[in-house]
Amino acid sequence: QVQLVESGGGLVQAGGSLRLSCAASGRTFSAYAMGWFRQAPGKERECVASISWNGGVTYYADSVKGRFTISRENAKNTVYLQMNSLKPEDTAVYYCARRAVSGIATSGNEYAYWGQGTQVTVSS
């Protein structure tokens, strides 16, 4: 049974920073790609960032490129999303997800496990 638990969300002013963490259960975390998604009210879920099993390949949505950084610590079964220069349009529930293979993907349908989500609110 794989469990993903996000933390680090909260309320921040525009221009501020937050770091999201996602702790995963299971001994094979290092074998699989991970992703961060977000969903704002009334909007579709979008892939914000994805990282391959060893961190060698990453993907960022155009809307966050240059501001967000995805990383992972396989020894701690944890993936991070560092979010800088936050904007009000970044407000959403952020979800961590794990694939069943090692390569990255941007479609939510390609992820097998999901966390419960953490709220990020950016005030103007």
Report how far residue 67's alpha carbon sits from residue 63's, in angstroms, rounded to the nearest whole number.
Answer: 9
Count the residues in the chain: 124
pLDDT at site 110: 97
Tell me the pLDDT band of 28, cut-offs 50, 70 and 90: confident
pLDDT of residue 21: 98
> pLDDT above 90 covers what percent of the chain?
97
Pairing of strands 118-123, 10-13: parallel
Q: Which pLDDT value is given to residue 1?
A: 84
pLDDT band at 15 (very low <50, low <70, confident <90, very high): very high
Return phi, psi of residue 80, to 5°: -120, 155
Nearest to 88 by CA among 2, 34, 15, 3: 15
d(CA 112, CA 4): 11
Question: pLDDT band for position 51 (50/70/90)?
Answer: very high
